[in-house]
Amino acid sequence: MSLKLLRPKLRISHLPWTTSALSRSPHSFSSTYPRPLDRSRLFTTTAARTNQTLSKMAASNNYSSPGFTKLVVDTMRKHFPEEIAERSWDNVGLLLGNIETSSSPEKASVVLVTNDLTYAVAQEAIEKGASVIVSYHPIIFSGLKSITTNDSQQATLILLASHGIAVYCPHTALDAAPKGINSWLADSVAGDAKSTRGPARPSASPPPGFEEAGAGGVVRFESPQTAGQVVANIAKAVGMSHVMVAAPNPKTWKESSVSSVAVCAGSGWDVVKDTGADVVVTGEVSHHAALKAVQTGVLVVTVFHSNSERGFLRERLVPLLEGELKSTVPAAKVYMSEADRDPFEIVAA
C-alpha cells in the first residue's frame, strides 16, 4: 500500500476550549489559566499540516526517533533510568514521538519542561519553538480507545503531533532517583541542619549506580529541630506563604521537637505512613489519612500535589538537562513552563 493511500483527510476544528493563551505574551502564562471552554475561540488544523508531516516522513524514509529527541530521552534515562520507575502501574518513557528532517529549523533544539501537560502548556511549547516536552506527569496514563477533539487530553496530543512535538514523561523514575524529586524535598526540609537521609521504600532491583534509589525519603536530624522551622523550610522551598498542617497539638505544634521527617512528592501517604517519622511532608493526603496521622502523634504538612514536585523541575532538572544538551548541541535551550501551575490555591474569602 502506498503512503499516499494512508494520508487521512483530516480537519481538526472546534476544539472544546479556548486558545486565549495565544493572545498573551510568552511571559504572562504564570498569572492565569486560559478562560473556561469557549467554542468561539478555537484553533483549526487542516489536512495540509498532516500531509506536510507525512511528506517529510516519505522524503526522509526514516521512521525512527530523531536525533535531538533521542538525545533528550537518552539524557533523561542516564540520570533517571526507567528501570527504577513503578512500572507495574506507571507509564513512563517517550509517549509521543515526532519526525525531524535535515530541513528542521535550528529552533527545534528547544525543550519545554512542565509538571503537567495541559493544553495551555502545549500552546506555550509551540510559541517557544520546542520540539520536545519533558512532562513529569504522563499525559497518557491508561489506555486510549480513541483520539478525538472531544477530550482535552486527546486534543492536546493531536495539537502536539500536528506540530511535530515529542513528549517524554519520567514520573516515578524522577521520584525514585537518588538525586531526584524526593532528594530535593529532603534537602528542602533539612535546610542547614545536619542530617542523614535515605529512601522510605528502597527500589527492589536498581541498576548499577542507583543502589540508593527508592520511593519517598526519610530525613533524620543529628540534633532535633522545631516543627515550626521544618514547616518554614518547606514553605520557602515550594514558594508558598501558607501551607496546610494537620497537627496532634494544634495550639503548640510549632514548638514540637522533630527528630525525623518523611517526604514524598505528590500523593505520598501510602509510601511514608509506616516510616515512624515525626512529620510527614507530601503534596496531598486524604481526610481519613490525616485523622489517623494526628491520632498517632504525626504532624502532616501538605502543599498541594504538584507544588511538591515543580520546584525540583525548575531548580535542578532544567539546568541539568540544558547543561548536558549544550555539550552536544550548543544551540540547545531548555525552558521551564510558565503556563504550568497547580490548579489549587489558597485564597481569602
Q: Which residues are annotated as a binding site for a divalent metal cation?
A: 137, 175, 305, 309
Residue with cell 514520573: 171
Beta-bridge partner residues of 94? 168
Which residues are part of a known binding site? 137, 175, 305, 309
**CA separation for the pair 67, 109 (Å, rounded):** 10
Place of cell 495565544: 22
CB 131 within 8 A of CB 71: no
Measured CA to CA, the distance from residue 264 to residue 287 in angstroms comes to: 17
Amino acid at 127: E
SS3 58: helix
Q: What does the DSSP assignment read for 6-38?
A: H-----B---SS--GGGGS-TT-GGG-PPPSP-
Q: For residues 45 and 274, what is the distance between their CA atoms, to the nearest angstrom?
A: 51
Angle separating helix axes 152-162 and 119-127, nearest 10 degrees: 10
CA 228 to chain centre: 29
Q: List strand residue ranges (DSSP E) for the chain, in order.
A: 93-96, 110-114, 132-135, 166-169, 195-198, 201-202, 214-215, 217-226, 244-246, 257-264, 279-282, 299-302, 333-336
Partners of 261 in the β-ladder = 219, 279
Buried b / exposed e across 217-238, counting CB within 10 Å, b at 16+?
bbbebeeebebeebbebbbebb
Cβ atoms of residues 262 and 218 within 8 Å:
yes
